[in-house]
Amino acid sequence: MSLAVHPEAAAELDDAIAWYDQGGQGRGQQFRATVNEVLDRCLIWPESAPVYPLDQDDVVVRTAGVARSPYRIVYFVEHETLNVVAMAHGRRRPGYWRDRLTITPSPAAPPPESNT
């Protein structure tokens, strides 16, 4: 399974690391290591995180908690790719990342039929 990270999720991770780095003592790097551990687990067991309730039938979104932090990794799996859409802080508005959910057609899917 491969990993794809939405640019806004990558920016959120960078911002969180910078914030933790302000506390010194290598806290930013510790946070990054913990995030990497969670991502590794999700790549091996993508269905291990709880499902986030959505009103969409075409995508199953999951959220994996990052230990010792208020952050959750929001992702969905598509075509053997773990797609990270947010590094969501627990105090942010729930579901603020919904506009980042983009489903691409499967490479093996037949083209849509035209009605001409």
Provide the residue ranges of all domains of the chain, joining segments of one domain with +.
Answer: 2-94
Q: Per-residue confidence of the chain (116 residues) as pLDDT tens digits?
A: 999 999 999 999 999 999 999 988 889 999 999 999 999 999 999 999 999 988 777 789 999 999 999 999 999 999 899 999 999 999 999 999 999 987 554 444 444 454 54
First CA to last CA distance, the chain: 39
- How many other C-beta atoms can be found within 10 angstroms of the C-beta atom of residue 28? 18
Q: Which helix (H) or strand (E) holds 92?
A: none
Would you state the structure tokens that stand for residue 58, as one six-digit string? 């075409």
- State how far the Cα of 61 lies from the Cα of 85, in Å rounded to an integer: 9
For 1-116, list the strands marked E by DSSP. 2-5, 51-52, 61-65, 71-78, 81-89
CATH architecture of 2-94: 2-Layer Sandwich (3.30)
pTM for the model: 0.84
Q: What is the dihedral of CA 48, 89, 92, 2, to 10 degrees?
A: -50
